[in-house]
Amino acid sequence: MVLDTGQYASGYLQIAVDEHPEAVVFKQRVRSSVKVSVCGDCGYLEFYAEQPGLMYRAYQNMLNNE
């Protein structure tokens, strides 16, 4: 998921995986900052998670918790 980056957000794009998405309170949310590369000619954007291994482990934990 992509987290809200509205007026009161941190100002940095983040993605997150909830290890326990069904939990009411303790969803065990794991976040990663996102690096953005932009082409100075056409504006094409690429996004990279800064901690991809962390996000993948959280995703695997989420699957194991189902």
Is residue 42 near Zn ion by the rule CB under 5 A?
A: yes
Least distance from Zn ion to the Cβ atom of residue 49, Å: 22
Residue that the structure tokens 């794991």 belong to = 30
Pick from 44, 45, 46, 66 the residue near Zn ion by CB under 5 A.
44
Coil/strand/helix, residue 37:
strand
Residue that the structure tokens 């998670």 belong to = 49
The closest of 18, 17, 51 to 34, measured between CA atoms, is: 51
Binding segment toward Zn ion, per CB under 5 A, in 12-20, 29-37, 42-50, 55-63: 42-50
Binding site for Zn ion (CB under 5 A): 39, 41-42, 44
